[in-house]
Amino acid sequence: MSDKLKISIRNLYKIFGDNPRSALADVLGGMSKTELLKTRRHVLGLRDINVDMKEGEITVVMGLSGSGKSTLIRHLNRLIEPTSGEVLVDGENILTFGETKLRELRRKTMSMVFQKFGLLPHRTVLDNAGMALATQGVKRADYEVEARRWLERVGLGGQGRQYPHQLSGGMQQRVGIARALTSNSGIMLMDEAFSALDPLIRTDMQDLLIELQNELHKTIVFITHDLDEALKLADHLVILKDGAVVQQGEPQDILLNPSDPYIEDFVRDINRARVLRVRSVMQEGPAEGEVSGEISDTDNLESVIAVSGGAMDRRYRVMAEGKPVGVLDMSTLMRALVPRHPG
């Protein structure tokens, strides 16, 4: 990961209707989404979105149905045009791009993985995986090499001659991911990419994505309505409600410090022991006095409870990359498991 910004969204508004520019004045004047629909017959899709996405990180945008998350991701490759605002990619405002430059953005800079897979049924798995390079004019012999490499990497080696209907849903989504990787784009947009899959297959796909990301360090924008999935995948989490950002930041911090009753409701039933990491609750600095052992800053609290055998008098030295970085008392751990405002 780096601190370089790959995507910056600035003051983004989207209003659906016959005269969105006129309706924007009402929204800027404070009119709510409900009022706008009732009085102007316009739908407020996004309200004043400001999000920075760092290169090499997974930014997860989540919210309930109608929150605006899919509308937002479609602004990043201009499948939807905004009413107002900016979308910067590598410092350039893509809203100023003409047709040629926009086509290059979609072909080379960004790739997209869809919820419904988006595979061409009359093309083989190999052809589907190599589609992005084929549309760029790359010779078949060359793009087949790349497509086979990524099909192998996502666990579909030897499946290139199959057709999509011959594969399970999970395998079809692996083709979609291979297609995005074959394009060699630095940005991957994933819109509810795993939502149509059975729970066990979905978990496998999440694990695959994390494994690939640890190796490739893509800039990934991932849309989901599932908080468990968001907490598992996100480096940066953005939570939307009614087209506006309610809270954003590091997922562990959001879980420990929800800024809004809406967020508190979201996180109340999460298994905090399984999600929270030692680094989020430890006390930084040297571990003075006796310790019961060493734990990693990336361990989840559930594993620490198992190591302690449930004993409350234990304290552990926390290690990161072979160096001591802090200390964790079991009493501190147990306090972190209690929501700030228990339901």
Same-domain status, 58 and 127: yes
pLDDT at 283: 93
> Residue 277, SS3?
strand
The closest alpha carbon to 230, from 15, 60, 22, 31, belongs to 60
Sheet holding 5-16, edge to edge: 43-54, 5-16, 84-89, 92-93
User: Which of 226, 251, 270 marks a domain boundary?
Assistant: 270
pLDDT at 2: 66
pLDDT at 181: 87
Same-domain status, 181 and 294: no
Say if residues 75 and 48 touch (Cβ distance below 8 Å). no
Same-domain status, 173 and 184: yes
Asked if the structure places residue 145 within a domain, the reply is yes
- CATH number, domain with residue 191: 3.40.50.300
Tokens at residue 316, please? 């552990």
Same-domain status, 153 and 298: no
The residues that bridge with 51 in the sheet, in sequence order, are: 9
Asked if the structure places residue 152 within a domain, the reply is yes
Same-domain status, 262 and 279: no
pLDDT at 119: 83
Provide mean pLDDT across the span 10-38: 93
User: Which of 231, 250, 270 marks a domain boundary?
Assistant: 270
Same-domain status, 190 and 115: yes
Q: What is the pTM of this model?
A: 0.87
Asked if the structure places residue 113 within a domain, the reply is yes
Asked if the structure places residue 18 within a domain, the reply is no
pLDDT band at 131 (very low <50, low <70, confident <90, very high): confident
The residues that bridge with 86 in the sheet, in sequence order, are: 10
User: Which of 244, 270, 296 marks a domain boundary?
Assistant: 270
Tokens at residue 99, please? 């047709």
In whole angstroms, what separates CA 41 from the centre of its chain?
Answer: 32
Asked if the structure places residue 14 within a domain, the reply is no
Same-domain status, 244 and 291: no
Asked if the structure places residue 35 within a domain, the reply is no
Tens digits of residue pLDDT in 232-264: 999 999 999 999 999 999 999 999 889 888 888
Q: Helix, strand, coil: what percent of the chain each, to 5? A: 40, 25, 35
pLDDT at 332: 92
Q: Is the pLDDT of residue 13 over 90?
A: yes
Provide the domain limits for residue 189: 50-270
The closest alpha carbon to 225, from 43, 73, 7, belongs to 73
Tens digits of residue pLDDT in 210-228: 998 999 999 999 999 988 8
Same-domain status, 212 and 307: no
Same-domain status, 166 and 283: no
DSSP annotation string for 98-143: -HHHHHHIIIIIEEEE-TT----TTS-HHHHHTHHHHHTT--HHHH
Same-domain status, 176 and 249: yes
Q: How many domains does the chain have?
A: 2
pLDDT at 180: 87
Same-domain status, 279 and 257: no
Residue bearing tokens 């979105």: 49
Same-domain status, 250 and 290: no
pLDDT band at 341 (very low <50, low <70, confident <90, very high): low
d(CA 271, CA 337) in angstroms, rounded, equals: 8
